[in-house]
Amino acid sequence: MKRQAYNPYLPSWEYIPDGEPYLIDGRVYVFGSHDKFGGGYFCLNDYVCWSAPENDLGNWKFEGVIYKKEQDPLYNEKDNVLFAPDVVQGKDGRWYLFYTLASNGVMSVAVSDTPAGQYKYLGAVRAKDGHILGTKAGDVFQFDPGVIVDGDKILLYSGFSPRPGRNCDALMQGRKGDGAYCMELDADMLTVKGEPVRIAPGVCCSEGTSFEQHPFFEASSIRKIGDRYYFVYSSTYGHELCYAISDRPDRGFVCKGVLVSNGDVGIEGRQCRQAVNYMGNNHGGLVRIGGQWYIFYHRHTNRSSYSRQACAERIEMNKDGLFLQAEMTSCGLNNAPLRGEGYYPAYIACRLYSKDGACFSEAAGEDAPFFTQRGKDRESGEEQFIANLQDGSVAGFKYFDLRKTREIGILVRGNAEGKMTVTDGKTVLACADVFVSGQEKEFSVPLAGTGEKIPLYFCFTGKGAADLIGFTLR
């Protein structure tokens, strides 16, 4: 029996945000930046790669470190983070890794003979007059690349469009930050052949356009589907990945809405203040596997924006080529509800909020539940868990086939006394009296028989704070 696929789909000790998925020779490869658990900033670790067979998406293989920040000649102790990358196969058959180092506004390129590396530094993207693009006032600020080889053209998409203000103005230093831009590259993968063309406006200039409700912020990602170009990006609001479509790669893009929100904002008309998970920035891309489209994105953990994890969801395309917003689930790549038997770790929850609801992760208070781990970064001795379930906190999991399930064992620890009620969102399925004092204990109770696609919501009511470690369906 194949291993089931969960969200997050990588091991719970791995923190890969900004994931760009590609199907290459029967395997799905994910290239992203690399957060550090407990880190004080974004993307502190070197680039790594993970891959899985296209017909076994619960079986991910660690391909190792593919590129180190010290390989870039501009690296120093201050400029020491590798932001979101993208990878493309060039016309020569080699693989090219595009990325930015820290916030210097310069796009760098590394090259490898195979998709999973090792990559070697090649150079910095430069304008047609030879200067490094992003080093002069008036240049496009280079950030979050999206790259595609389209026939005889090599196209680079890039941009960063923060709200105007003192800190952002100092960062931009006169460089363009008014949207996303498309640039055609020469065969050397480094030289921009013409002038960059803006394809999506930022918040400062989106009024009156199709992007007005979802202005471009960052996270450029590009796919060609049929004869149309799909540009995926993160909006000014951060939590949502949006998309725009055009018949041409460098103009005419029209915003078509939201692909996924890491707070499920937009699902069932939900507003930001009604988010069902702690939110933050978002970044990802589309891939088609076995005839099914998926959107890859990331979630936030540890009450921080700096420990993000890779997630993916099925997403449906209608007959007009438009996508319907995907909901967050625990079983995204599984392609079916999870089995109604066996042990499930708490960290695969797709909803998490306190009695006051959810918010952006950086604003979470002391009463907020959160995903976390014991030990240091990249230590795999113990799985993640949900910490700090206080009175009224909810952890939700979607979906399970519970047609034959008759009992649930709830594994908790901490210092708490109260009840753990399990519902499907409407009906109480189980209720356990919970009392723990430091130690780890399982509380087993009957589970009412239900259907083949059922969510499970765990709500703690009582005193103290409980950690939810996992649960067993029997």
Q: Which two tokens stand for residue 107?
A: 């796009």
Q: Beta-strand (E) ranges in 204-261?
A: 216-225, 228-235, 240-246, 254-261
CA end-to-end span of the chain: 18
Instruction: Report the percentage of the chain scoring pLDDT > 70.
Output: 100
Provide the residue count of the chain.
474
Contact, 101 vs 82, CB < 8 A?
Answer: yes
Contact, 295 vs 21, CB < 8 A?
Answer: no
pLDDT band at 77 (very low <50, low <70, confident <90, very high): confident
Does the residue 15 lie in any domain? no
CATH code, 237: 2.115.10.20
Reported for 375-378, long-range contacts at CB under 8 A and 24+ positions apart, including other chains, are: 375/13, 376/37, 376/38, 377/13, 377/15, 377/36, 377/37, 377/38, 377/39, 377/45, 378/13, 378/14, 378/37, 378/45
| 296-330 residue pLDDT tens | 999 999 999 999 999 999 999 999 999 999 999 99
| 118 prior amide bond cis, ω within 30 | yes
Q: How far is residue 321 CA from its own chain's centroid?
A: 23
Q: Report the pLDDT value the prediction gives residue 308, as an integer from 0 to 100.
A: 98
Q: Same structural domain for residues 392 and 377? A: yes
Does the residue 5 lie in any domain? no
pLDDT band at 201 (very low <50, low <70, confident <90, very high): very high
Q: Report the pLDDT value the prediction gives residue 443, as an integer from 0 to 100.
A: 98
Does the residue 7 lie in any domain? no
pTM above 0.85, yes or no: yes
- Tell me which of 334, 351, 369 is where a domain ends: 334
Q: Report the pLDDT value the prediction gives residue 295, as an integer from 0 to 100.
A: 98
- Tell me which of 334, 357, 391 is where a domain ends: 334
Does the residue 11 lie in any domain? no
Helix (H) or strand (E) holding 169: helix 166-172
Q: Same structural domain for residues 351 and 329? A: no
Name residue 196's amino acid: P
CA angle 66, 67, 72 (to 5 degrees): 165
Q: Same structural domain for residues 329 and 455? A: no
Contact, 50 vs 8, CB < 8 A?
Answer: no
**Averaged over 427-432, what is the pLDDT?**
98
- The helix, strand and coil proportions of the chain, stated in percent and rounded to the nearest 5, come to 5, 45, 50
Choice among 143-152, 166-175, 336-345, 462-471 with the minimum mean pLDDT: 166-175
**Averaged over 375-395, what is the pLDDT?**
94
**Averaged over 194-213, what is the pLDDT?**
97
Does the residue 422 lie in any domain? yes
Contact, 121 vs 108, CB < 8 A?
Answer: yes
393 has a pLDDT exceeding 70? yes
Contact, 295 vs 223, CB < 8 A?
Answer: no
Contacts of 386 (CB under 8 A, 6+ apart): 346, 347, 349, 352, 369, 370, 371, 395, 467, 468
- Is pLDDT larger for residue 77 or for residue 471? 471
Beta bridge partners of 157: 146, 182
Q: How many domains is the chain partitioned into structurally?
A: 2
**Averaged over 450-460, what is the pLDDT?**
96
Going from the C-alpha of 29 to that of each of 43, 156, 225, 287, the distances in angstroms are 19, 20, 19, 10
DSSP string for 30-48: EE-----TT-SSS--SPEE
> Beta-carbon neighbour count of residue 314 at 10 Å?
18
Q: Same structural domain for residues 374 and 321? A: no
> Which structural domain, as residue segments, surrounds residue 379?
339-473
> Beta-carbon neighbour count of residue 437 at 10 Å?
11
Q: What is the mean pLDDT of the chain?
A: 96
Q: Report the pLDDT value the prediction gives residue 358, as an integer from 0 to 100.
A: 96
- C-alpha to C-alpha distance for 146 and 262, rounded to whole angstroms: 21
Return the active site residues: 18, 218
CATH code, 382: 2.60.120.260
Q: Same structural domain for residues 267 and 149? A: yes
Q: Same structural domain for residues 346 and 327? A: no
Q: Report the pLDDT value the prediction gives residue 1, as an integer from 0 to 100.
A: 54
| 164 prior amide bond cis, ω within 30 | no
Q: Same structural domain for residues 181 and 213? A: yes
- C-alpha to C-alpha distance for 316 and 294, rounded to whole angstroms: 8
Sign of CA dihedral 105, 34, 164, 233: positive
- C-alpha to C-alpha distance for 57 and 1, rounded to whole angstroms: 13
Q: Same structural domain for residues 26 and 133? A: yes
Q: Same structural domain for residues 226 and 262? A: yes
Does the residue 116 lie in any domain? yes
| Three-state secondary-structure class, residue 274 | helix
Q: Same structural domain for residues 227 and 293? A: yes
Contacts of 151 (CB under 8 A, 6+ apart): none
Beta bridge partners of 465: 415
| Three-state secondary-structure class, residue 71 | helix
- Tell me which of 316, 334, 352 is where a domain ends: 334
| 417 half-sphere exposure, CB direction, 13 A CA radius | 1
Does the residue 2 lie in any domain? no
Q: Report the pLDDT value the prediction gives residue 404, as an integer from 0 to 100.
A: 96
CB crowding 36-73: b at 16 or more within 10 Å, else e: bbbbeebbbbebbbbbbeeeebeebeebeebbebebbe
Q: Same structural domain for residues 157 and 26? A: yes
**Averaged over 363-373, what is the pLDDT?**
95
Q: Which two tokens stand for residue 178?
A: 């008014």
427 has a pLDDT exceeding 60? yes
Does the residue 14 lie in any domain? no
Q: Same structural domain for residues 200 and 344? A: no
Contact, 419 vs 431, CB < 8 A?
Answer: yes
